[in-house]
Structure 1
């Protein structure tokens, strides 16, 4: 009983804001400036332009002497939407300001007015007119400020009320400046974004509402039981007249309900209710129940809090597999960073939904949310799609800071658990990542880190006794959490990919509960190879497969594929293919998570083929699938699919009459390949027949155009795929010239440069750096962090492409490659 009370009160300590009856998402009518102000008065004073904003107009400049110039924006908005992948400089880290006007009309007599932030980076101050109403440190957890009293105070100033047309001026200052005493560390391998990059809501609640409701859904044999606890929010000490809850199944039928005793104080245990034969939550059938908690005040007002829960049990068997609801489930996972081309961290709900559906269609049933608490929208999607979750706090690299640093880590862990407590998808609370990586502080004391990790582990278990804890890559702390993931990067940072199974089995024996997160490698989209495993000839096997500090560098050190390989999609597909077929024959394996689903921005990788982008995704930063996506789909997806390797491989090469391999990634039982209209035969699928699970053919291409077509079958179901390409037999020398062409027409056109030798033969293995430029009326569509969306980028197979937004008039595109004459192309729009 004492433990239960402690858990409850610890959770409630993180629940600092009410959940409301009425919520308005504030996306429009915002202005922004990427610099600091002398103070909040500069955002609201006469002549600042705030008056125009109150009239529903973008102010830009308030008058001839107004400083600074504000820009209209829509939320979510990231101050580093593009400069995070600017190849020519560091991204901005510093203060920024936002402002808006709110029409505050609370429908509840005596109720409260709140601003709810789903996340903002990284230190945030909120003002109503000139009064600071809240401050939050941390870029990823949710938080709320009560602006009721400040709104009332502002409305007592008749002059300002008239100036702002009875609207409430709100200003928000965000700051993502470097700060060693704040997590995450600047050594973290991802961009520490700034801005209001998640949604902000205006919330109205009655005088009595909820600050948090916590549901424990338990499976007891064939019976379910749900226990409910709540924290009441009543800053004016209004009387609680009654409190209750009910539970509905997916069809909306009430399956349990309970009226609880009111009790004393604001922390209330509502008791539990039995659910007969509950439908269990699984990745294949993610059954969700809706819990509604209701609190009544003394004047008859009612506040309802709604959340979804699921009944499921799980276990990491000692030195064995993962069990969900008593049956083995191989965790087939990936990772997610909150990051997108042209937007940084400011992804919309629709974009998040599309991304998560793309994961599910790949066959994912598990995800590690790296390396911070993510949008509540993502957690809800994991619940509804059936994707199990490891979520972690951003204690990532750099060592361990002082009291302020450590308090933030504890607070973020508490917030993460309290805010995502009810999600059935969550099975692991991550305590840290790569905490064996020093650098931020003069001292790096392993014993101090161990002590702090033990404290976080104990805190997580007090807050949530029903879930497990985890960390990745900190061997001297591997005994602390419930589940540990070591570093295994077979075939990329160390070793060769054929060592994967042996390395994994060796690490599996070291800890009672093992889970392998982070494996894979980088690939430069549209770069392909006829000899992808060449780099493996220079890599020594038997030296371990763990990532070590400095391995991400493209210079120096031991031979490794990450430095010496070609970064082709061909190679990474081979690595994926081998690893996935090995995982299928490891009955003791709990599961793995490939790193990472989507390419993302990072300041630590300026020399990558796309500068400042970690290119280990199976989709590009704009969400376009790479070839590797279909390798995973062929092993994991249930829906019938087939994909001929090389949709982005328009020119293959080799000798005339040479046999070349054609691979089809498919989950079909068999497939028949047609080459230039002729059948090349039927192949049966066998997951252990590497590569491509036996769906491969030795084919002789004709010089010039070739067309491939595949028909794949599983019983009566049939799926087809096709691809065409040119086959080049001419040998080439080093690049000597550029061929620059325009592709397409319209408001946006592609420009392509091809590197050729002195005789004009395309150099199909050329990987030169290409720099794009433009003068005139058009605009380069760059700073996207993709293979065709950066003005400075490595060529893929001797080609580089970029888009130009056309405007009336003329533009001149330039292309520079070291050692070659600069190329120019005139563009015009009629």
Structure 2
């Protein structure tokens, strides 16, 4: 008992020391920004004279993180901005350490960045996704000796930063990529003070040879020692997942060159990290020299994984089906500049959906993301942005290697990471006059060798580059059954065919687009036009909305109803594929892209299961019904207010649930109990045929799992009147709350019958003192959007003032609403 109390006290004291040693501060407030180039840094720092007409008038106040393209990435009327932008602020710098270093630590800024102290450039970086630091120590010391420091800047240090996301063929990622290459300081920027001798990186390798046996922890450090300090003392503390101190180590050192193995420790039967129980140990490293202490703390996890040759994925000695999705760094209203709160909400939503695996597409992502995956139990494939376009020259290749090295070194300790990705769709030419498969293979081999050299403990993978599949450990081919080619019912056969071509197969990227709030009574109609048995890969031109063979991506209705069937089929098949390592649905959230201007929401890839503002689509609940254990039930159609058909026609009512059984009530009358059977497609057998007539229907489902009861309820109208082509529109306010009004447009034929299959593109406008909430890249936040079942919504800030809202659509009279 005394030993346990002492351990707890040791941990408490260690935590107190860590707080006292904290020398990092996020620089969030008091920034100014201009979205264009300046004549030079002098224009950002020169003295301003009141009334001077030559002073640049366009600086705007912003907070970090900040993205150039927060809204223009999804503005339907412009191409998103690609070019330079400038940031400036004045900061107080008082390093508490004698002979210490003062750093600006960038967690990510796009895509080329230059840092100035006053008018002196102190650092440059190329690459929008890896972390890096600018040492401003000497420049700050020099500036503090100037008269302008005391007079113009009142004892503060002027920091000026130029970011540039201009197009550049000799830089990754390619602008042919299906995502925006954002600009700005779109991740957190930190002011960091370090002692004279400090820790640059800590590599803590946690490993086990056999489940239940001994675990090993090898601690290696890389130090920063610009003044060539000759001696120091290191201390290492380890606490278990319960916060109990279990080990400590002290050593005097005199060698500081390279990466030095400082401690190799073993423990019996460590607590294992897994998606179900993501147990982490804490390693705290201290280095003390000349009375100064530098501290770094890292989390590690003990786990053993294997992609079995010609077999499934194993974690800690047991088969685990990887149930995954993808993430882009992208959100409504902010672009790439997601706050920690936004990121946390997103990753927790993934976990709520049942995800145990995520591929981070297509670049190194924020440390916040990796920390969340560690703590929530989500396995990770992280990759560098060598995406499409082919292979550039020496500058291009050097950047790819540098970003690969940075990614592995910066995220080395995260137990969630099992795969380093080398690229995506590298078989896609276009950026260069030459497309040489052998040169691409040669460079892929170099990246593969570098990855294994930096980290032998993880697997290496690529997606969709068949002529390189033999180079890496794990390969993911292109399989889009039921979307770009083929039927979704061909998914298992096509997957098995691809599985047989590779030693280790993992299927990432499947699914299809769905326009949120659009539903269909006959969603699979487009399949009748599609050739069956012709493969399920994506080929050149398949993403286009025009030309080529019939395919659902071009000829389908883009309804949530179709994607519900496609996802449902894939998930039920995955339960019957014992050789499958896993899959990852593409993607979790809709995201902006420059190459899809004619989508129902312009410039948005709409394959997500949630919208860009975290609004869940129906498909979110289908995944939950297969992948989660906490009892849940969901009636399909929460955003489908009106169904249609013949009088008395039987309509399918679908319920998605992980419960054992469910009972449906229609207007209070029971329609019977159904037992869940994952192989009974669709909806795992939880479906009812309900005869419907004109009127209002309330559907309620009561589902049971053991003694737990969960319910869901929706109300829908049923329309029997048939409609002709659209002839007119109406515009009305349907809700207002806290100064936000919701405006709805509907389309009718000449006889005033609502056109429930209308997909017209409508454009909203406003004159007055209100403000449309537009350029969000969502079904209800876009100034131009295709109708969903003859209607569309947009919100506006009323600002307690008068406005006139308009809606236009080609071939229909424009209508107005006074608000």
Residue number in structure 2 paired with 1:622: 613
The answer to which of 101-110 and 665-674 deviates more is 101-110
Specify which of 810, 814, 818 is matched with residue 806 of structure 2: 814
1:256–1:274 contact (8 Å) kept in structure 2: no
Say yes or no: does 1:439 pair with 2:430: yes
1:183–1:394 contact (8 Å) kept in structure 2: yes
> Which residues of structure 1 form unaligned runs of 5+?
1-18, 49-60
Q: TM-score, normalised by structure 1?
A: 0.95
Residue number in structure 1 paired with 2:497: 506
Residue number in structure 2 paired with 1:51: none
Residue number in structure 2 paired with 1:383: 374
Residues 334-345 of structure 1: pairs in structure 2 closer than 5 A = 334-345=325-336
Q: Secondary structure at the match of 1:107?
A: coil
Say yes or no: does 1:315 pair with 2:306: yes
Query: How far apart, CA to CA, are the structure 1 residues paired with 2:443 and 2:37?
Result: 35
Query: How far apart, CA to CA, are the structure 2 residues paired with 1:220 and 1:584?
Result: 30
Query: How far apart, CA to CA, are the structure 2 residues paired with 1:488 and 1:793?
Result: 29
The answer to which of 773-782 and 536-545 deviates more is 773-782
Residue 261 of structure 1 deviates from its aligned partner by 4.8
Residue 676 of structure 1 deviates from its aligned partner by 0.3
Q: Secondary structure at the match of 1:643?
A: strand
Residue number in structure 1 paired with 2:3: none
Specify which of 771, 780, 802 is matched with residue 779 of structure 1: 771
**Residue deviations 1:765-813 (CA, integer Å, cap 9, x gap):** 0001111111111111111111111111100000011111112432111
Residue number in structure 1 paired with 2:59: 70
Residue number in structure 2 paired with 1:31: 32
Specify which of 679, 690, 695 is matched with residue 688 of structure 1: 679
2:340–2:368 contact (8 Å) kept in structure 1: yes
Say yes or no: does 1:197 pair with 2:186: yes
The answer to which of 798-807 and 663-672 deviates more is 798-807
Q: Secondary structure at the match of 2:490?
A: helix
Query: How far apart, CA to CA, are the structure 2 residues paired with 1:783 and 1:20?
Result: 43
Say yes or no: does 1:346 pair with 2:337: yes
Query: How far apart, CA to CA, are the structure 1 residues paired with 2:443 and 2:546?
Result: 35
Query: How far apart, CA to CA, are the structure 2 residues paired with 1:483 and 1:263?
Result: 42
Specify which of 250, 275, 282 is matched with residue 259 of structure 1: 250
Query: How far apart, CA to CA, are the structure 1 residues paired with 2:333 and 2:602?
Result: 15
Alpha-carbon spacing, 1:739–1:78, altered in 2? closer, same or farther (3 Å):
same
**Residue deviations 1:130-172 (CA, integer Å, cap 9, x gap):** 1111100000000011111111000010333332110100000
Query: How far apart, CA to CA, are the structure 1 residues paired with 2:799 and 2:236?
Result: 59
Residue number in structure 1 paired with 2:716: 725
The answer to which of 184-193 and 265-274 deviates more is 265-274
Query: How far apart, CA to CA, are the structure 2 residues paired with 1:555 and 1:448?
Result: 33
Query: How far apart, CA to CA, are the structure 2 residues paired with 1:202 and 1:359?
Result: 32
**Residue deviations 1:633-682 (CA, integer Å, cap 9, x gap):** 00001211000000000000011111100000000000011000000100
Specify which of 383, 387, 395 is matched with residue 392 of structure 1: 383
Calculate the aligned-residue CA RMSD, in Å: 1.2
Residue 300 of structure 1 deviates from its aligned partner by 2.1
Residue number in structure 2 paired with 1:170: 159
Residue 109 of structure 1 deviates from its aligned partner by 2.1
Say yes or no: does 1:519 pair with 2:517: no
Query: How far apart, CA to CA, are the structure 1 residues paired with 2:277 and 2:664?
Result: 35
**Residue deviations 1:413-443 (CA, integer Å, cap 9, x gap):** 0000000000000000000000000000011
Residue 64 of structure 1 deviates from its aligned partner by 4.4
Specify which of 522, 537, 541 is matched with residue 546 of structure 1: 537
Residue 112 of structure 1 deviates from its aligned partner by 1.3
Query: How far apart, CA to CA, are the structure 2 residues paired with 1:661 and 1:240?
Result: 76
Query: How far apart, CA to CA, are the structure 1 residues paired with 2:230 and 2:712?
Result: 66
Residue 380 of structure 1 deviates from its aligned partner by 0.3
Residue number in structure 2 paired with 1:6: none
Residue 702 of structure 1 deviates from its aligned partner by 3.6
Residue number in structure 2 paired with 1:41: 42
Query: How far apart, CA to CA, are the structure 1 residues paired with 2:698 and 2:328?
Result: 38
Query: How far apart, CA to CA, are the structure 2 residues paired with 1:536 and 1:524?
Result: 18
Say yes or no: does 1:274 pair with 2:266: yes
Say yes or no: does 1:139 pair with 2:128: yes
Residue number in structure 2 paired with 1:537: 528
**Residue deviations 1:421-467 (CA, integer Å, cap 9, x gap):** 00000000000000000000011000000000000000000000111
Query: How far apart, CA to CA, are the structure 2 residues paired with 1:809 and 1:242?
Result: 67
Query: How far apart, CA to CA, are the structure 2 residues paired with 1:313 and 1:719?
Result: 37
Q: Secondary structure at the match of 1:745?
A: strand
Residue 63 of structure 1 deviates from its aligned partner by 4.9
Query: How far apart, CA to CA, are the structure 2 residues paired with 1:574 and 1:62?
Result: 64
Query: How far apart, CA to CA, are the structure 2 residues paired with 1:368 and 1:63?
Result: 52
Q: TM-score, normalised by structure 2?
A: 0.96
1:208–1:240 contact (8 Å) kept in structure 2: no
Residue 68 of structure 1 deviates from its aligned partner by 4.0
Say yes or no: does 1:127 pair with 2:116: yes
The answer to which of 426-435 and 110-119 deviates more is 110-119
1:247–1:257 contact (8 Å) kept in structure 2: yes
Say yes or no: does 1:153 pair with 2:122: no
Residue number in structure 1 paired with 2:732: 741
Query: How far apart, CA to CA, are the structure 2 residues paired with 1:441 and 1:704?
Result: 61
Residue number in structure 1 paired with 2:441: 450
Query: How far apart, CA to CA, are the structure 2 residues paired with 1:62 and 1:325?
Result: 70
Specify which of 455, 458, 474 is matched with residue 467 of structure 1: 458
Residue 271 of structure 1 deviates from its aligned partner by 2.4
Specify which of 75, 94, 107 is matched with residue 118 of structure 1: 107
Residues 362-761 of structure 1: pairs in structure 2 closer than 5 A = 362-746=353-737, 747-761=739-753
1:20–1:305 contact (8 Å) kept in structure 2: no
User: Runs of 4 or more off by more than 4 Å in structure 1?
Assistant: 61-64
1:20–1:303 contact (8 Å) kept in structure 2: yes
Residue number in structure 1 paired with 2:6: none
Residue 62 of structure 1 deviates from its aligned partner by 8.1
Query: How far apart, CA to CA, are the structure 2 residues paired with 1:427 and 1:779?
Result: 46
Q: Secondary structure at the match of 2:388?
A: coil
Alpha-carbon spacing, 1:20–1:193, altered in 2? closer, same or farther (3 Å):
farther
Say yes or no: does 1:208 pair with 2:197: yes
The answer to which of 680-689 and 213-222 deviates more is 213-222
Residue 703 of structure 1 deviates from its aligned partner by 1.6
**Residue deviations 1:40-60 (CA, integer Å, cap 9, x gap):** 111111017xxxxxxxxxxxx
1:486–1:507 contact (8 Å) kept in structure 2: yes
Specify which of 180, 201, 204 is matched with residue 169 of structure 2: 180
Residue number in structure 2 paired with 1:794: 786
